[in-house]
Amino acid sequence: MAETTTTLPSGPPGAPGAPGAPAPDERSPVRSILVIWAVLTVALELFAIFVPARLMGVAASKTMADIKESVTVFSVVAAPVAAVVWAIAIHSLLRWRHRGEHDMSESRTAYRTLV
């Protein structure tokens, strides 16, 4: 039998062809996550500015007015953080799902045979 040798591509990490590098046709998810994040941030900021204060009704005291203002400020500050969580979740659900190329049930061993 003849011995075969394989040479691994060399180069800096992350370079095309380097070990562990993504395929050249595979896009980075950063751009799509940022687009989803920007849209969600605008929507959640508008929601945070207009909805919570209106749901609480008219302030009957100075304390209630302060509470309404605090809720609005905290909602506005939390909106970008919530938007990033939702953007990653939405991107994950849309990008990394089974697309029906083949039947997954036939390629897996049944759970009951593993136990």
**Whether the predicted model's global pTM rises above the 0.85 cut:** no
pLDDT at 90: 94
Structural domain total, the chain: 1
Q: How far is CA 76 from the centre of its chain?
A: 20
Q: Which domain holds residue 58?
A: 38-95
Residues of the chain with pLDDT under 50: none
pLDDT at 94: 87
The single-letter DSSP state of residue 26 is P
Look up residue 8 and give its two tokens. Answer: 């691994």
pLDDT at 95: 83
pLDDT at 49: 93
pLDDT at 2: 59
pLDDT at 76: 95
Q: Is residue 49 part of a domain?
A: yes
Look up residue 22 and give its two tokens. Answer: 């993504």
